[in-house]
Amino acid sequence: MDLVIVESPAKAKTINKYLGSNYKVLASYGHVRDLPSKDGSVLPDDDFAMTWEADAKSKKRLSEIATAVKESDRIILATDPDREGEAISWHVLQVLKNKRVLKDKPVERVVFNAITKESILEAMKHPREIDTPLVDAYLARRALDYLVGFTLSPVLWRKLPGARSAGRVQSVSLRLVCQREEEIERFIPQEYWSVLADLQTAAGADLQARIVAVDGNKLARLDITNETQASDIKKLVEQANLSIRSVEAKPVKRNPFAPFTTSTLQQEASRKLGFAAARTMQVAQKLYEGITLGGETTGLITYMRTDGVEITPEAIGPIRSTIESEFGKNYVPDKPRVYTTKAKNAQEAHEAIRPTDVARHPKQMAQYLDEEQLKLYTLIWRRTMASQMASAQMERTTIEIAAKDGLRSADLRATGTVVRFDGFLALYTESKDDDEDEESKRLPPVSQGEALKQKEITATQHHTEPPPRYTEATLIKRMEELGIGRPSTYTATLSVLRDRGYVVLDKKRLIPDSKGRLVTGFLSNFFERYVQYDFTADLEEKLDRISSGELQWKDVLREFWIEFSSHVDGTKELRVSQVLDTLNEVLAAYAFPPKEEGVDPRKCPSCETGQLSLKTSRYGAFVGCSNYPECGFTRQLNADGNGQDQNGADSGPKVLGTDPETNLEVSLRTGRFGPYVQLGEDKKPPRSSIPKGWELDSIDLERALKLLSLPRDVGPHPEDEKMIQAGLGRYGPFVLHAGTYANLPSVEDIFTVGLNHAVSLLAEKRAKGGGRGAAQVLKELGEHPDGGAIAVKSGRYGPYVNHGKINATLPKDIAPESVTLEQALEMIAAKAGASPKKKAAAKKPATKKPAAKKAASKKAPAKKTAAKKKPAAKAAPEGTEET
């Protein structure tokens, strides 16, 4: 029997059906190992040695695979056909080698671009070895992302408290968003006017023309700058005699667009369907893995992570045949269209995203697909078909009109395009923004010298608009243009920016948050080289050259690390005050917006003598007065000059969607203690407060379900196998184990903190002593006969036995580890029996008052200590922005 290993359980089930009983197909469930989120996972001083770690679930699956290998004759690695798929196969192979289960059994690598029976059986006929250069490129990328994250992020924590992390591609993408926001803030609207003439031909047809020249001087779009100038031109045209100077018609050919790549699919799905990039990839994954047709699971599209625009020759014939049957012979070009890409690495040698069989018309697939799947499949089907259709034939007509009034003259122009043959436009247009251009604007027939009648001349005021904020689609397009990132990383990068609170999504537009502005300002001024677009693109090109075998991956790492680590070392003497002084200047327009003329925007509005400046805390940056502590004025960094938050919120319930597990509605609401999310409408429905720093506009169904799922199990503690949990409490995000709480620096860490990091935070907290919540459990004794656990715990004044709300101090002559359940029950019973006496004693007058004061005096220091509690250790950067 042969063992086939894929990533997805859905793929495993389908492929097993295709291959038959002589094969066993198992899933790795994605990546089986990763670099632990802790220092030392990549060691530059040890020739960039990398430590890989599998989580508990992956270990179990790897054990199952290893067991199956022992019973198999041949191992076939059939993971996805890209860099990530190659890496998963490599990881699985390394684990099997380490377990010494392979022996002399042959190991082969096969790839297929579509989950269809024909594609898979054909792939099995052409096995190969693992592509070492492609794996090397993966290792280099992974090491780079880790080294940047785990080297740069601690610098941020020390020099810019409250900042989350930095990343090789993440920080450059954030800079794009921040620079666009700065352009918008600096933008000064410019007034301009347009003069349009509604005319009528001798035959009575309507014609509209615009002014293009006055008295022999050409006028560009912005050249008419005021109403006086516009009125003068309008009067000139109104008094002039108008006639046709020339008519020119030129044939124009418009070619179809290339088939979809990952980025163009994300862009078009955003524009046409309103899908976020992550949603597009989720739906595409389902289409790729397939649906049941005729009792057999069949993939509907080819692999969806690609930079290639080519279509395999065997697919061209069916596409051309379908075009002919759907539209006619004249819609089929003489020769198949061939598209090429500038892509250089092996990942990008794949073909474009296309239907596995164009005969599966979207109308036929409607009964098998949900609404989103059908929309995306239809988009891919149309784009693929259109890419092989005939060009659109158009005629572009330009009519030049002369206006004369005595010694003065003006020129007007009317343009229009007539579609003579629609070609591919019969099926597909690029985007909604282009739809207007595609509409035929037919001009009436006119002849040279023909006089025109005036209907109305209008002068209209306009103002120039600032550049638009990026959407996910336009940011991905810009990243692709600059050579930043790769198809498999775009959605992950955007998710990181949102999850860490660096950007917020408002009406599909990406707006940088104050955290993002601060981080970008810091990196751009103190690590400028590493957030430059050309530097990042150059590094991506080197990674491509590694994958093609032109460069050695460790040589690239050494070259990068020598300069990068030296630069980081040079910031050790940098003081926080220097950083803030620089950011005060760099972010002046944002942090201290201009006020009425003559008023210093940095003048403290409270004491009127101090200067406003950026300040930092463990929770982030804010604006404060230089006269602190005498003047306590502060305001949020993202607030206006009056200290009012710029984001308003509707107090009414807002339905975010339906929980897929319970089918209950998830809603966003506002209560007396602030905004929260709620599941269902029961008497006591599950609720979760919106964490501080999360914008209400950013709360979608996904984030709401994350909050409602808390607390989250991180993993069993290695010392006692008790579960560590991450959650959100009254004092912020935390990890909890056996009664010990350790703070997390941000809410996002609740969902990402790993086991190693959580154990480290808890150990640091215990080493410092104290901590809110229950004390550490020293020994679990069992269940009380009346119900509830009994345990020996460590308290401030020594060990004690606990049951519910009853605590019995342990005698000094009894060691905590030697306490038995019977002894504990006696102590608890004695303590419970003494409680009524103590309550009665507490009610007696005068004589007990000193004791009460003494008890109060003992509690006071504890409160004071809690108030001085040190901040928790900073979270280690995930270092996984690209996987």
Q: What is the 3-state secondary structure (H, E, C) of 508-552?
A: CEEEECHHHHHHHHHHHHHCHHHHCHHHHHHHHHHHHHHHCCCCC
**CA dihedral angle for residue 822, residue 823, residue 824, residue 826, rounded to 10 degrees:** 90
Q: How far apart, in Å, are the Cα atoms of 575 and each of 33, 171, 329, 580, 582?
A: 39, 22, 73, 9, 11
49-50 and 42-43 beta bridge pairing: antiparallel
875 and 744 Cβ atoms separated by less than 8 Å:
yes
Alpha carbons 656 and 652: distance in angstroms, whole number: 13
Contacts 24+ apart (CB under 8 A), 502-507: 502/164, 502/174, 503/174, 503/177, 504/695, 504/697, 504/698, 505/472, 505/697, 505/698, 506/695, 506/697, 506/698
Q: What is the 3-state secondary structure (H, E, C) of 314-377?
A: HHHHHHHHHHHHHHCHHHCCCCCCCCCCCCCCHHHHCCCECECCCCCCHHHHCCCCCHHHHHHH
Closest CA to 261 of 475, 110, 486, 471: 486
List 288, 303, 530, 741, catalytic entry: 303
User: Which tokens go with 112?
Assistant: 């297929």
Q: At a CB cut-off of 8 Å and minimum separation 6, what does 435 contact?
A: 429
At 762, the amino acid letter reads L
DSSP state of 691: P
User: Which tokens go with 30?
Assistant: 């994605």
599 and 592 Cβ atoms separated by less than 8 Å:
no
User: Which tokens go with 169?
Assistant: 């591609």
Q: Which residue has the tokens 């005939």?
A: 390
CA angle at residue 780 from 777 to 783, to 5 degrees? 130
Mapping DSSP to helix (H, G, I), strand (E, B) and coil, where does residue 634 land? strand
Closest CA to 455 of 278, 666, 197: 197
- Per-residue burial over 228-240, b if 16 or more Cβ lie within 10 Å, else e, is ebbeebbebbeeb
Q: How far apart, in Å, are the Cα atoms of 614 and each of 119, 518, 578, 636, 745?
A: 60, 10, 11, 10, 20
303 is catalytic: yes
446 and 438 Cβ atoms separated by less than 8 Å:
no
User: Which tokens go with 441?
Assistant: 């604007």
Please give the order of strands across the beta sheet that includes 634-636: 612-617, 620-625, 634-636
User: Which tokens go with 304?
Assistant: 């969806």
Q: At a CB cut-off of 8 Å and minimum separation 6, what does 82 contact?
A: 303, 305, 306, 347, 350, 488
Alpha carbons 85 and 94: distance in angstroms, whole number: 14
User: Which tokens go with 534?
Assistant: 């050309």
Question: Which run of H or of E encompasses 224?
Answer: none
Contacts 24+ apart (CB under 8 A), 346-349: 346/83, 346/131, 346/133, 346/134, 346/547, 346/548, 347/82, 347/83, 347/134, 347/305, 347/306, 347/307, 347/486, 347/487, 347/488, 347/547, 348/306, 348/307, 348/308, 349/308
Question: What is the 3-state composition of the chain as percent helix, strand, coil, each rounded to the nearest 5?
Answer: 40, 25, 35
For residue 401, what are the β-bridge partners?
244, 412
DSSP per residue, 637-662: TTB-TTS-BS-----S-EEEEE-TTT
Alpha carbons 431 and 441: distance in angstroms, whole number: 18
How far is C-alpha 260 from the chain's CA centre?
Answer: 21
Residues belonging to the active site: 303
